[in-house]
């Protein structure tokens, strides 16, 4: 099958309690009006896992907890998967000269940003949701909660 | 900057009132446990816009309505943008042999699927949200509402 090409448009930065995204100059025209949204969807790339090995992993124990049943990566948010697309919703504090100040982000420092979309809750809200038991078990902390 | 490679994992199908996704045999082990979720996030590629021209468009009138102010693509869900990543939440009816039966999907027939993730509402819910006026204006119908 045909493959598609992703060009990073920016990067995640974390320094102490500051979190921001820089958008490359070539793409900054795409930010017009973004400051009118309080929240954005940030799409980034799990680049630390961009190896044939990690992109071949199809099953994991969610949240890296062996107690959780072996589960297909498509039934998780694990950072290993065939295409390393990550999505997280962030509160946007300001947009100045291609710098997006965020409240926080569930991403590693220096992660490549591949897309930004406005966050419109009605598009994402659903009423009755059914989920397996492991979703509501106690979470580990930090990066381990991915899954 | 380095670029990243996306390999389609499956495809969207629409036929009459039926909607389903087929996952390629090589990736079907990644579906283990997915049927325990009532809803999934489907990531697909706006492949009909995979041209240098459309990937260079940085500003649009949201929902293709000239009345809406010119807006950066990153402040919209427009299907033209530097990286053609789309995300939509779907109700999952069944998973059988790599075939995911869906209630409906906001995607064209034959769209390449690039990732599936479980939908966990608490990850996406936010409390107070601020948005520009064009979001709540009357919507057009069909594919035109993208934006």
d(CA B116, CA B7): 13
**Summary mean pLDDT of chain A:** 89
Which chain A residues have a beta carbon less than 8 Å from that of B121? 125-126, 129
User: Measured between CA atoms, how close is A42 to chain B, in angstroms?
Assistant: 10
User: Measured between CA atoms, how close is A120 to chain B, in angstroms?
Assistant: 8
Q: Which of B30, B49, B74 to mutate to test the interface with A (most CBs of A within 10 A)?
A: B74
- Alpha helical stretches, state H, A1-147: 52-55, 121-124
Q: What is the pLDDT of residue B121?
A: 76
Q: Which helix (H) or strand (E) holds B53?
A: helix B52-55
CB A131 within 8 A of CB A57: no
Q: What is the pLDDT of residue A139?
A: 52
Q: What is the pLDDT of residue A128?
A: 74
d(CA A107, CA A43): 10
Determine, for residues B8 and A3 on separate chains, whether the beta-carbon distance falls below 8 Å: yes
What's the ipTM?
0.90
Residue among B30, B50, B119 whose CB faces A73 most closely: B30
Residue among B39, B77, B130 whose CB faces A126 most closely: B39
Q: Which domains does chain A have, with CATH numbers?
A: 10-140 (2.40.30.70)
CB A87 within 8 A of CB A41: yes
Determine, for residues A5 and B4 on separate chains, whether the beta-carbon distance falls below 8 Å: yes
pLDDT band at A142 (very low <50, low <70, confident <90, very high): very low
Q: Which residue has the tokens 């930090």?
A: A142
d(CA B119, CA A61): 17
Residue among B7, B124, B132 whose CB faces A33 most closely: B132
Q: pLDDT of A11-70, one tens digit each?
A: 999 999 999 999 999 999 999 999 999 999 999 999 999 999 999 999 999 988 999 999
Q: What is the pLDDT of residue A140?
A: 42
Helices (H) and strands (E) in chain A, counts: 2, 9
Which chain A residues have a beta carbon less than 8 Å from that of B32? 59, 70-72, 75
Q: What is the pLDDT of residue A31?
A: 98
Residue A146 has pLDDT above 60, yes or no: no
d(CA A134, CA A66): 11
Q: Identify the DSSP state of B113.
A: E
Consecutive 10-residue runs of chain B (147 residues): their mean pLDDT? 93 97 98 94 97 98 92 97 96 96 96 95 63 67 42
Determine, for residues A32 and B70 on separate chains, whether the beta-carbon distance falls below 8 Å: yes
Q: What is the mean pLDDT of residues A92-103?
A: 97
CB A89 within 8 A of CB A59: no
* Cβ neighbours around B120 below 10 Å, total: 17
pLDDT band at A124 (very low <50, low <70, confident <90, very high): low
Q: What is the pLDDT of residue A108?
A: 97
Phi/psi at B27 (nearest 5 deg)? Answer: -110, 0
């Amino acid at each position: 099958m045909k493959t598609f090409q992703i060009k990073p448009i920016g990067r995640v930065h974390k320094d102490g309690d500051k979190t921001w995204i820089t958008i490359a100059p070539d793409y900054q025209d795409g930010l017009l009006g973004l400051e009118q949204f309080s929240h954005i969807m940030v799409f980034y790339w799990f680049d630390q896992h961009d190896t044939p090995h990690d992109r071949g992993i199809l099953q994991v124990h969610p949240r890296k907890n062996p107690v959780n049943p072996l589960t297909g990566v498509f039934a998780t948010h694990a950072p290993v998967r065939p295409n390393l697309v990550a999505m997280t919703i962030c509160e946007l504090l300001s947009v100045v000269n291609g710098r997006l100040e965020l409240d926080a982000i569930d991403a590693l420092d220096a992660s490549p940003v591949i897309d930004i979309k406005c966050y419109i809750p009605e598009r994402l809200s659903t009423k009755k949701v059914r989920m397996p038991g492991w979703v509501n078990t106690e979470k580990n902390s930090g990066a381990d909660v991915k899954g």
